[in-house]
Amino acid sequence: MAEPTALLALALDAAMGWPLAVYRRIGHPVGLFAWVIDRAEAAWNDHARADAWRRVAGVGTVLILLGVGGGGGWLLQRLLGWPLAALFAWPGLAQRSLYSHVRAVAQALERRDMPGARKAVGMIVGRDTAALDEAGVSRAAIESLAESFCDGVVAPLFWLLVLGLPGIWAYKAINTADSMIGHREERWRAFGWAAARTDDVMNFVPARLAGLLVCLIGPGGWRILWRDASNHASPNAGWPEAAMAGVLGLRLAGPLAYDGVVSQKPWIGEGARAAEPGDIRRALNVFLRACLGLWIIAGGAAWVL
């Protein structure tokens, strides 16, 4: 049964996250997916070959990852009862670790430690952080929290509820691939195409659920969600980000620098003032309450089914 498994996995993650002592001893399960992706890219992402060949190689990589993640999850689910299955679902969720990483940014800003704040936010975003001021760091932390609410919490839980252990670990395998190779730069565009598109499909429903959950927390979210979700380059990430911008009354996204190149992205949300450390705290409060909504969903599913 996926439902009691999901509720217990949520509780384990909220209580402990993925403990540092465990990580130091055995790493994290997504490390296996990263290893597979690295080996596949080294062997098959040959720029001397045509893009079509590299796309096919990327499709093969996705199928291998689905076999490793989904197949491994299916085998564990066949062998284990639901309490033990929850132990294997637990590291696929990231409520506590996401909260801790974003809170660390707020704490550094509150201490007026800009180097520490840039370092902390650099652990959770891909943009250039060296030149970010207090508003830029605050905005980056809030955007990462909103987007990762989907990738790190809602989507893994959704696939756990729908397909059990095969679902959550197939999703984590694809999401890891998207983060590593699902980019538009020349090196990855062809090879990572299948990973990016599969991740889009797997996040389609969870992203919209994440946005709706955030909108339930406070006024302002619905209007900005419907107006600005499509302003994001991703077909999914704009939903929780626009909802968060609306609830907080802030502008998010906008111009960003990656590898020294400024990308003129459209703004999401509205508001005259710049983001500040207090807004990160407000966003964390929204995040906690939205996670509570997921607990209610998982508990209701367990009770009904």
The pLDDT of 103-124, averaged and rounded, is 94
User: What 8-state DSSP symbol labels residue 260?
Assistant: T
CA–CA gap between residue 61 and residue 195 (Å, rounded): 8
- The long-range contacts involving 300-304, CB below 8 angstroms and separated by at least 24 positions, are 301/3, 301/6, 301/161, 302/1, 302/3, 302/4, 302/6, 302/7
42-58 pLDDT, tens digit per residue, is: 999 998 899 999 999 99
pLDDT of residue 305: 57
Q: Is the pLDDT of residue 261 over 70?
A: no
Q: How confident is the model at residue 257 (pLDDT cuts 50, 70, 90)?
A: low
CA–CA gap between residue 142 and residue 275 (Å, rounded): 9
Q: Which percentage of the chain shows pLDDT scores above 90?
A: 71
CA–CA gap between residue 295 and residue 305 (Å, rounded): 15
For residue 253, what are the β-bridge partners? 267
Q: Is the pLDDT of residue 69 over 60?
A: yes
CB 33 within 8 A of CB 68: yes
Token pair belonging to 284: 């964390």
Q: How confident is the model at residue 1 (pLDDT cuts 50, 70, 90)?
A: very low
CA–CA gap between residue 164 and residue 227 (Å, rounded): 34
Q: Between these two residues, 15 and 83, which has the higher pLDDT value?
A: 15
For residue 251, what are the β-bridge partners? 269
Q: Is the pLDDT of residue 15 over 80?
A: yes
pLDDT of residue 239: 96
134-156 pLDDT, tens digit per residue, is: 999 999 999 999 999 999 999 99
Of 181, 194, 182, 185, residue with least CA distance to 53: 194
Q: Which percentage of the chain shows pLDDT scores above 70?
A: 95
The pLDDT of 256-282, averaged and rounded, is 81
Average pLDDT, the chain: 91
Domain ranges across the chain: 2-304
The pLDDT of 247-251, averaged and rounded, is 94
CA–CA gap between residue 11 and residue 37 (Å, rounded): 30
